[in-house]
Amino acid sequence: MLDRFGISANDLSLLRECGQALGTDAVDRVVDRFYTWLPSQPEFHVFFNNSDEVERVKKLQREYWTDFFNATVDQRYLDYRIHIGELHARRDLPNEVFFAAMLQFQLYFLDELRAKLGPDRMQKATSAFIKLLALDTFLVTDQIAQFAKRRIAETSKAMLAMSTPVTSIWEGILLLPLVGIVDSQRTKDIMEKVLERIAETGARVFVMDISGVVTVDTAVANHFIKITQATRLMACQSIISGISPNVAQTLVELGANIGEVRTTSKLSHALQLAIEEIRPALRGDAVPAGS
């Protein structure tokens, strides 16, 4: 990581010298200047409700910058920056606020360093400071991005679960109405949930209604066929309903292998077939599930 950002051992040594030259008074002045600037930002009152919260965060920032100028960049150092990124992400801090804040700290610390160092030393110190600050900024923003990706993945997973309601509508009959776009990932989820529900309920018939599916091409059709084949292995017959004329024509033109899959144009027809399938076992006295 240090090599990637061009940070040498000399850079770290120079930053430690800068930290000694600055001392705690300069760090305190920079943090105080920052909190003179921060209230002018509209987000300030969103993230800080009272003076106690401000003082708590100021203390943490003093520790942060003291650690920065100690310049001991090890796993602990990286983990702490990653932790800060996680905190910012959980508080939903906008990226522009974080970047603006880091810019202010950069300007304030460079002002302090100019007052302490000569021109020659200042040029090298500025380079070392900017490089380590770039590493810090990357670690925090990367963690914010990773958190956002995890949140999107979790939301997608939740939406996927909600969009795959395998329901027991009658003793021995499961129904899955599909809506929207069906891809390979969603098909995998469908198959897992359907097979789990068959195992739980001992269902003998599974009805999958695809009238709400946006598009049906060869890949989607083959996915559906694989689902019906898997249910058959569990002694559960499958019926696909909602086959429109356009879908039927598309499947024929694409040469999809429908095989032994039972299909109907309407859900009501599929349910009628399902009831006829289980009627011998129910001896004519079946009642709706939940009655």
Per-residue pLDDT of the chain (291 residues), as tens digits, is 899 999 999 999 999 999 999 999 999 999 999 999 988 888 787 777 778 888 988 999 999 999 999 999 999 999 999 998 888 888 787 888 889 999 999 999 999 999 998 888 899 999 999 999 999 999 999 998 888 888 877 766 655 555 568 888 888 999 999 887 777 777 888 889 899 999 999 999 999 998 888 777 777 777 888 888 899 999 999 999 998 887 777 767 666 666 667 889 899 999 999 999 887 665 555 444 444
Among the four given CATH numbers 3.90.1300.10, 3.40.50.300, 3.40.1800.10, 3.30.750.24, the one describing domain 167-282? 3.30.750.24
Residues 6+ apart with CB under 8 A from 137: 98, 99, 102
**Residue 183 confidence (pLDDT):** 75
Domain(s) labelled CATH 1.10.490.10 in the chain stretch across: 9-159
């739980």: which residue's tokens? 200
Q: Rounded distance, CA 77 to CA 12, Å?
A: 13
Give the residue ranges of DSSP H helices in the chain: 9-37, 44-47, 51-70, 75-90, 95-116, 119-162, 184-201, 218-233, 245-254, 267-282
Q: What is the pLDDT of residue 33?
A: 95
Would you state the pLDDT for residue 23? 92
pLDDT computed for residue 224 by the predictor: 83
For domain 9-159, the CATH class is mainly alpha
Q: Is the dihedral of CA 226, 232, 233, 234 positive or negative?
A: positive
Q: What is the pLDDT at residue 287?
A: 47
What is the bridge-based pairing of β-strands 167-170 and 173-180? antiparallel
Which regions of the chain carry the CATH code 3.30.750.24? 167-282
CA distances from 148 to 74, 91, 119, 174, 181 (A): 26, 12, 43, 36, 23
78: closest CA among 143, 20, 19, 24? 143
